[in-house]
Each structure stands twice: as structure tokens, then as C-alpha cells.
Structure 1
Amino acid sequence: MSVPYPFSAIVGQQEMKLAILVAAIEPAIGGVLVLGDRGTGKSTAVRGLAALLPKMRAVRGCAYHCDPASHHSCGDCGGDRKARVERVPVPVVDLPLGASEDRVVGALDLERALGQGVKVFEPGLLAKAHRGFLYIDEVNLLEDHLVDLLIDVAASGENVVEREGLSVRHPARFVLVGSGNPEEGELRPQLLDRFGLSVEVRTPREIAERVEIVRRRDAYERDPEAFATRWSKADAAVRRQIERGRDKLATLDVSDEVLTQAARLCQAVGSDGLRGELTLMRAARAVAALDGAEQVTTAHLRQVAAPSLRHRLRRNPLDDTGSGERIERALGELFEPA
């Protein structure tokens, strides 16, 4: 098994790294979309996430690694689930662009079902991603029928497979993470709306930063294990930060003052619907938990304003300013400098 590039060794790209950590602490955010130039560490950051995540409790032998403490399960665990507990890595599953529908949703063995009366189901990628992360590189190039499928599953949290009158359903709740280059095609609006956070990454312009990226990448490719060992303490510190953040999250409330500020901001930039406010609230609370803060403040709100809203803005034909700049301008007009 190849050694992933350490998350902590990624140079720059602070907004992208923060968005990924927020999603790791608060899955209700709805996922992360990372758009930008090729070779800017998009897929590297996502794959580095797998090594960061603390292990989770699951029912031993369950194909969907159900939570033993949850009242919701796949229905196949059976018996005393709490007596069959193990700790397993949080799944980070790749969904290739060319994957067949059966590979994604799972396959029913119709021959055995019709001939022997036995319902045999081979779980797909959605089952493997349950309680974890589903990663799609070049998500803007995903085939339309898979986009429709993902929209349905992301909305319901359940995957339903129906073939020749047979039906299988299982839980499929995961954090959707997508990356791509917008110059190669736009993302369907219906799928775009399912991502909680949207991050833009660009090729670094500072010479020193570019040199450091090349130096670290070269060291990693020469000896991946030694490089990962060198950054293991930094990654372990981030892992502890995630664990503390998850514990802290349940104790944090968002005040009416901060909620009002979020609503004013969404109204000022013309955000569609109310998902903007919900995402701002959840993301700001997650950042506060990540920081170990005792309360959610305007400063936390400002940190996540752009990734929470930039993909929710209506296009203004009279204003060619980028969405990120429009959000920053609204922040400056509405709130005192942080």
C-alpha cells in the first residue's frame, strides 16, 4: 500500500485545508468542492485526509460498518451489535469517472435470486463510503446518470438498488468531496448545490513557496516512508485537533447575534435559499470547535464566509467581480474589521 503524502506537509492552500478539516469535524456541512488549476494539491490533500482521521467504532463483519450505538443500521448486522465492536479506519473511497453504475451502487446476483430464491447483493462504492468520504476527482466531468444518482443518495442518505422486481436498500451517508478544473467543464447546478463548501485553489505566485513545494515533493518521491515519518508528529497533532474539535462541537451554540450576521451577509450577496445560512452556521461552529473556542464569533464566520457562499451567488450581468471578491466586499461593508 502506497504511503500518502502527509496532510501537514502541504504548503499553503490554507482555505482548502481548513475546509477539509471543517468537513472532518462536522459531516453535516455537506461536503467540499475544490476547484482550480492542475497540480495544486487538490487530490493530495484529500488523500492525506485518510491518514489523519481517528478510527471509528463499527459492527464487526458488517459490510456497511454500521455504528454499534446507532438505532439506524443496514438490517444485516443482526444479533447484539454492541457486543461485536471494532475500530476501523474511516473510509475514504475514490469514485473513478469511468465507473459503471453497478460498481457505484452495487450489484444484485439475479441468477441466484431467480434460480435459488437467494437474494445476493454485492455492495458498491456507495456502501464502502458509508460513514466516511466519497472522493470524485474531475467531478465536473462525471456522467449525467451518475450525477443524478449521487444527488438522490446525498439527499436521502440511502442507496436503493432495484433489478427485475428485486430491491435492496442500505444506508449511504458520506461526505462528498469533489475536485476539478473549471476550465474543463462546469458542474451541474443540482450537484453543485449539494456541496457545503466550495474552495478555489490557484498556482502559487511566490517563488519561495514554489521552491518549497518542489523540495518537499522531491523528498517524498525519493523516500515516501522517511518523508511521512518526518511529518508524523505534525499529522498526529492535527489528528488530536480533529478529535478535540469533534468533542467540543456538541458543546457550542451559535448566538442569535452571529446568526443575524450570517443572514445579513447572505441577503447582501444575494445567496439563493437558506442553505447559505445553515452552512455558515455549521462551518463557523466547526471552526470554533477546531480552535477550541468557548463561543462562535464573527471572526469564525468571516473565516468560512467565502467557501460557504461563493457557489451560491446569482450571477449579476452588471457586476463582473468574482464571487469571492463580492463576499469580501460585503463583509467589509457589513461588519467591523476583524
Structure 2
Amino acid sequence: MSIKQNIYPFTALVGQENMKKALILNVINPALGGVLIRGEKGTAKSTAVRALADLLESLKVVDLPISATEDQVVGSLNIEEAIKTGEKKFEPGLLAKAHKNILYIDEINLLDDHIVDVLLDAAAMGVNTVEREGISYSHPAKFVLVGTMNPEEGDLRPQLLDRFALSVEVIGEQNPKDRVEVVKRRLAFEKDPESFVTGYEEAQQLLAEQIIHAQKVIHDVVVTDETLEIAAKISIKLDIDGHRADLMMIKTAMTIAAFEGRLQVEKNDLLKAATLVLPHRLRRTPFEDYNQGWSDIEKLVNEECLV
């Protein structure tokens, strides 16, 4: 593995375990459909995304600015050229560049809802289709969608929230020792990047190998009917709309199993998946806290998993 001195190592990040796991799971299985990271500034959201891309080397991060137009995102067709020559001339957009990479949108809650819809459609289908004046063009668009946002600056509509497979809430570390460690590691990195990165090279290599192996076996993971039934019962008891939550719980649990080197989903995988899939799908009033009621979810999942 080559060392890039200006990229902070993923394995050097302190805490934020749910965020790191959600990112890893989406890299293993881009078909999950993306992750929304909600939290205050200065909680290593952007650092984690770029560090994970660097870890795997085959990935790069494509940034999507919140000022981007639809044509800049999906690409455009040169209608005049098509009429003159009869040939489709496609000008690629950011989705084409993001193919097999990470598409990163900071402050996604400030992006136009229509463009968020387009991004989520492409992430779910793995294909981007552009239609103009009766002419259409499609190209592969399999990417890892990562959106970050500060809830204090406004939220996404519930319909859009539900489209994200996973969602995590991040806050600054509350343990004094962990906060000290965050600062110590950052100072060490800034003082001598080469030495700091070298110190994490073995851990980086091991994690990269674990992810690559999981990518190879994810399609061989099996899930029992009993586990499927538990997922369905959980969604029914929590009064969650539609079937997307059930599907996402199962797909996430399968990805967790692959990451942990197993080819069959265990009940505990479903509990871990629920922590990432369910909180942002709960019905709540505008004044309810995002994490309100999570203890009830955990209790419910544990009860079902222990049956």
C-alpha cells in the first residue's frame, strides 16, 4: 500500500464507531444506497470519507457542490448535434465521474430536493439516465453516496430521509481521555505526517484486506426465514411506513456478516443493522430529538432476537 502523507489514516480516527462502520458497509456494498451523516462541525465527517477512499486506493472522492445544477450532476445531451448528425453526444456530469467512487455532498440538506431525489435514484439503480427532447442516454453510475449535514441548519424532508439506507448521528467525544487522544494524534500527524502514517500502515493494510474480502463474498451471504421474520416484526411494531426499512435491515445485516468474515446472518447482525437503519425512519414531531426513543428500539430488537 502506498503512503499518501497528506491523508489522515482511517484507522487513526478516534471514536465515531457508527459513522466509520456505516461508511465501510457502503463501500463493501454500494447497493445499500448511501449514508447520511448528521452532526455538528468538527466531528471528522469529511476526514473520515477521504481517509476511507485513501485506504482502498481504488476509490476517489468526487465532491458535489450544493450550487450544482441538474445538468452538472446528471450530464447533458447536445440536442443540436443529435439532430444534425443523428448521433447522441453526451456531456458527462458528476454522476459519471462518481462511478465506482464516492460521491460526497457536504451540507446535503441545503441541496435542491429535486437533485437529492435524482442522486438517490441513481444510487439505488446504479444507472443514470438523461432524457432531453425525446432523446435518452444511460450510463452506469454505481457509487457510494455520502451526505453530511448539520441539523441546526435545517433538515431533509422525511421522504428523502427514508431513501438513505443508513443514517448516523455524530457529536464531539464526551470522554476527556478520548478528546485528549483526538488532539494528540492530530498534532502528531501535523508535526510529522510520514512517521504518523507509517505507524498505522499495518492497521490500514489489515482493514483494507478485510473490506476487499467482504466485497468478494457479500453475494454468498445467506439469511434465514427466521431473520427475515424478525425484521418484519420490528418494522410493524415501530409502525414504520413501507418495506424499505425491512429490506435495508436485511441487506445491512448481510453486509455486516460479510465484513466479519461470515456467510450467514446472525441475529446480532440484525441488531447492529437496526442501529444504523431505523432511527431516521421513526415517526416523530418536529420538536422531538433525533435519537429520542432509540432505547426502545434497542430493547425491541433485543427482545425479538432473543425469541
Q: Could you tell me the TM-score, scaled by structure 1's length?
A: 0.80
1:131 aligns with one of 75, 94, 100: 100
| 1:179 equivalent in alignment to 2:148 | yes
Amino acid at match of 2:112: E
* Superposed displacement of residue 278, structure 1: 0.9
1:20 aligns with one of 17, 20, 23: 23
2:32 aligns with one of 2, 19, 29: 29
In 2, the alpha carbon distance for the partners of 1:262 and 1:116 equals 54
> Structure 1: any 5+ residue segments left out of the alignment?
55-88
Partner of 1:267, secondary structure, is helix
Contact 1:154 1:194 in 2 (8 A): no
* Superposed displacement of residue 3, structure 1: 2.6
Q: Give deviations 1:260-309, integer Å, cap 9, x for gaps.
A: 22222222222221111111111111111111135321111111212111
Contact 1:36 1:201 in 2 (8 A): yes
The corresponding residue for 2:47 is 44
Q: Give deviations 1:232-278, integer Å, cap 9, x for gaps.
A: 22111100001121233233211112222222222222222111111
Q: State the identity %.
A: 50
Aligned ranges 1:266-285 → 2 under 5 Å: 266-285=235-254
* Superposed displacement of residue 123, structure 1: 1.2
Contact 1:13 1:201 in 2 (8 A): yes
The corresponding residue for 1:329 is 299
> Structure 2: any 5+ residue segments left out of the alignment?
none
* Superposed displacement of residue 161, structure 1: 3.1
Contact 1:92 1:133 in 2 (8 A): yes
Partner of 2:281, secondary structure, is coil
Task: Return closer, same or farther for 1:331/1:112 CA change in 2, 3 Å cut-off.
Answer: closer
2:126 aligns with one of 148, 151, 157: 157
Amino acid at match of 1:254: V
Range with bigger deviation, 180-189 or 95-104: 95-104
The corresponding residue for 1:72 is none
* Superposed displacement of residue 34, structure 1: 0.9
Aligned ranges 1:182-197 → 2 under 5 Å: 182-197=151-166
In 1, the alpha carbon distance for the partners of 2:170 and 2:273 equals 15
In 1, the alpha carbon distance for the partners of 2:9 and 2:271 equals 28
In 2, the alpha carbon distance for the partners of 1:224 and 1:109 equals 46
Q: Give deviations 1:164-212, integer Å, cap 9, x for gaps.
A: 6654332223221111111111112332222111111111111100010
- Size of the aligned set, in residue pairs, is 303
In 1, the alpha carbon distance for the partners of 2:305 and 2:133 equals 59
Contact 2:34 2:123 in 1 (8 A): no
Contact 2:222 2:263 in 1 (8 A): no
